Amino acid sequence: MESRKSGWAGVVKIAACAGVLAGATSGSAQWLNYPTPGIPRTKEGKANLSAPAPKAYDGKPDLSGVWSTDPDFFRNLAKDLKPEDVVMLPPAAKVQAERETNDHRDDPMARCMPPGVPRIDTSNNGEALHPFKIVQTPGLVVLLYETSVNSTFRQVFLDGRPLPRDPQPTWLGYSVGKWEDNTLVVETAGFNGRAWLDTFKGHPQTEAGHVIERFTRRDFGHMDLVITIDDPKAYVKPWTAKLPLTLVPDTELIETVCENEKDTEHSSR
């Protein structure tokens, strides 16, 4: 049985910086080195990530696959932006500064809570790789997340339904999507306001948050993810981060379970 490299290390790193040790187990998997069917290959048998982007049977771009991004976005979603691009309102700026001063000990992920959207898209942590998987159908896109706490999922409805007008607030919100040319545009709202946008900076999110994700597959192994944060209770204006996604071939997600008040020695397996 094999396990993804340092699956537990990522949780330890988050918990340590928060001053809390959250026990977690990363399950073992049988298929970490099993060739993914349908992937174009080089003569050496390696995945050809520069091959043309595939199409789904309905003619839309096929975004299916296991994907990962630069872990620096997990630490700071605005890492490529200027200070004037991300202007917080005074209450939000105070919260963000307190999180840094307190060494992030209030991070909900350290208590095994979901990363929230869009931090869940970036749930890598240096030594630990925590990718996510896209499963695409004509009317529904499902995103399966390994994360560095508990495995979880999102549903993106493509059937034309609107976002709920009076939603019951949740960690991951409610997501609807539509195609604009070759780009899948996902809108998510209905958050509980408890999640963070990133880990080390601790950018806040409120119940008024509205996240727009744009997924554009450039070729077989590379996809652009453009994330716009529109949260009028936290930021003076919307701001946008651009993330590169890379296909992770010949592997599958690993079940990850995080348990409060458990250390590695006593975590259930």
Is the overall model pTM greater than 0.85, yes or no?
yes
Q: Please state whether beta strands 140-145 and 132-136 pair in parallel, antiparallel, or not at all (unpaired).
A: antiparallel
**How far apart (Å, rounded) are the C-alpha atoms in residues 138 and 59?**
10
Q: Which residues of the chain have pLDDT under 70?
A: 1-30, 125-128, 260-269
Q: Where are the beta strands (DSSP E) in 158-221?
A: 174-180, 183-189, 210-219
pLDDT given for residue 9 in this prediction:
38
Residue 262 CB partners (closer than 8 Å, separation 6+): 22, 23, 24, 268
pLDDT given for residue 264 in this prediction:
45
Domains annotated on the chain, with CATH:
52-106+116-252 (2.40.128.20)
pLDDT given for residue 261 in this prediction:
54
Give me the sign of the Cα torsion angle 64, 70, 74, 76: negative
Q: Where are the beta strands (DSSP E) in 13-79?
A: 23-26, 65-69
From 62, 4, 77, select the one nearest 250 (Cα to Cα): 4
**How far apart (Å, rounded) are the C-alpha atoms in residues 74 and 243?**
11
Number of other CB atoms surrounding residue 242 within 10 Å:
12
Percentage of the chain modeled with pLDDT above 90:
72
pLDDT given for residue 17 in this prediction:
42
pLDDT digits (tens, 9 = 90+) for 79-133: 999 999 999 999 999 999 999 999 888 999 989 999 999 999 998 755 557 899 9
